[in-house]
Amino acid sequence: MMSLLVVAAIVLAVALGYTTKINIGLFAIAFAYLLGCFGMGLSPGDIINMWPLKIFFVIFSVCLFYSFATVNGTLEKLAGHLLYRCRGVPHLLPYAILLTSGVIAAMGAGYYTVLAFMAPLTLLLCQRTGMSLILGGMAVNYGALAGANFVSSQSGIIFRGLMTGAGMPESEAFVNALAIFASTAIIPVLVISAFVFLGGHGRNLKNAVLTADLPEAFNREQKLTLLLTLLMMVLVLAAPLALLAFPDNATVRFVNSKVDIGLIASVFSVIALLLKLGDERKAIASVPWATLIMICGVGMLISIAIKAGTIDALASWIGGNIPPLMVPVAFGVVAALMSIFASTLGVVTPALFPMVLPLAASMSIDPMIIFVAIVVGAQATSISPFSSGGSLLLGSCTDDKARSTLFSQLLLRAAPIGFVAAMLFNLALTFLF
């Protein structure tokens, strides 16, 4: 009975957040308190301890450091330079948008930040070059998603935190996060290529004239920001990669045990402040507080679900009713349907990731395949006009007629195409591994 109440609470939190536009995490905290204290006999202290402190700290620290690149204009200027390089090859523009969005997101801007300043630019390029709105929209959305999934960027950090929180060793979580990034980087290239070379979009773009002015050179603050960002990426990636290459080396193992991306980002934030790379108040204000509250609030409610046995019950049901070969595909379908209306980071992955390890162990499935299938499925429909990606794209449209056209294209073409591509990928992944 309690498991059903917890599931109902999760669904209700998402529904209320969607209809009232109030942060889903706040509803989740309220339901966690009511169900935990008054339905399960837990103390208020037990409920507060369910706040995922490590995930909160890591996301806050990393986003604080990366926010300097947003505040001082580094990312915006980087986007301008990358797009300027493609002015002579307009038929490669979709790939340029995909790459630019991916690089900037991988450098820590995060999915929402990239869409916020790349979506208007992309739609403007669509008007100037004749590139279809659906192609431009999918390119910027796919690029922002893939880049944010990089192991040292926002989504990649969240995925690693959820996996380690579910009981997976840090080294295995790192490998799985790399697999998620690689998968979500391959799919966009295949889908965009199908549009360009099979859908006739490439022929239209070849005849386009792309005019772009050379952006100003990077100033001192922006150069130092780029240097610090690249240096932090190297430091964060070097230790776990060295451990994978030399698993028995005591020195490598010791160094890796002392590396924490949240603490490293905190040190780099201090360095950025000492070098005066940006205003401290603006940097703190740029931290995605709403996303943090949503992820951590839903995390508390998921902890209630785990405590009530809901996750184990769902995993047992899936294990008893779905053939092992179809489990990753089934997870992908569920994640895709959830993602039409809910956030991948705040709702879908926190709800589904805790089921993976017990289910994978009972059915002898590599958990990496299921983790990849969940993220691939969830992000396939994130371009739906009812989801965050699609709504940001629609909000970037200044023309009512173009907005109406884009709405139908996102709903009836982009989301279904993304869904089919994701399911085919998940099916191929299941058979190959």
Range with top average pLDDT, 50-64, 173-187, 308-322, 408-422: 173-187
pLDDT tens-place string over residues 4-20: 898 899 889 988 988 89
Instruction: Please report the pLDDT score of residue 18 as a whole number.
Output: 80
Query: Is the pLDDT reported for residue 268 higher than 60?
Result: yes
219 three-class SS: coil
Instruction: Please report the pLDDT score of residue 263 as a whole number.
Output: 93
pLDDT tens-place string over residues 63-116: 899 889 888 988 888 877 777 777 667 678 889 889 989 988 888 777 877 887
Mean per-residue pLDDT, 244-259? 87
Burial class (CB in 10 A: 0-12, 13-18, 19+), 202: middle
Query: Is the pLDDT reported for residue 366 higher than 80?
Result: yes
- Mean pLDDT score of the chain, rounded to an integer? 86
Query: Is the pLDDT reported for residue 59 higher than 70?
Result: yes
pLDDT higher at 204 or 328: 328
Mean per-residue pLDDT, 368-385? 91
Output the 3-class SS for 224-283. Answer: HHHHHHHHHHHHHHHHHHHHHHCCCCHHHHHHHHHCCHHHHHHHHHHHHHHCCCCCHHHH
Q: What percent of the chain has pLDDT over 70?
A: 94
Query: Is the pLDDT reported for residue 286 higher than 70?
Result: yes
352 three-class SS: helix
**DSSP conformational letter for 153:** S
Position 281 confidence tier, pLDDT thresholds 50, 70, 90: very high
Instruction: Please report the pLDDT score of residue 42 as a whole number.
Output: 93
Structure tokens given for 85: 């390089």
* 220-224, 259-263, 272-276, 402-406: range with lowest mean pLDDT: 402-406
395 three-class SS: helix
Rounded to whole angstroms, the Cα distance separating 294 from 379 reads: 18
Q: What percent of the chain has pLDDT over 90?
A: 36
Instruction: Please report the pLDDT score of residue 208 as a whole number.
Output: 55
Longest dimension (CA), the chain: 68
Rounded to whole angstroms, the Cα distance separating 77 from 55 reads: 30
Instruction: Using alpha carbons only, give the angle 406, 412, 418 rounded to the nearest 5 degrees.
Output: 95
Report pTM: 0.83
Instruction: Please report the pLDDT score of residue 112 as a whole number.
Output: 78
Query: Is the pLDDT reported for residue 397 higher than 90?
Result: no
pLDDT tens-place string over residues 175-230: 999 999 999 999 999 999 888 877 665 555 655 555 566 778 899 999 999 999 98
pLDDT tens-place string over residues 132-190: 888 888 999 999 999 999 988 889 999 999 999 888 998 899 999 999 999 999 999 99
CB 349 within 8 A of CB 173: no
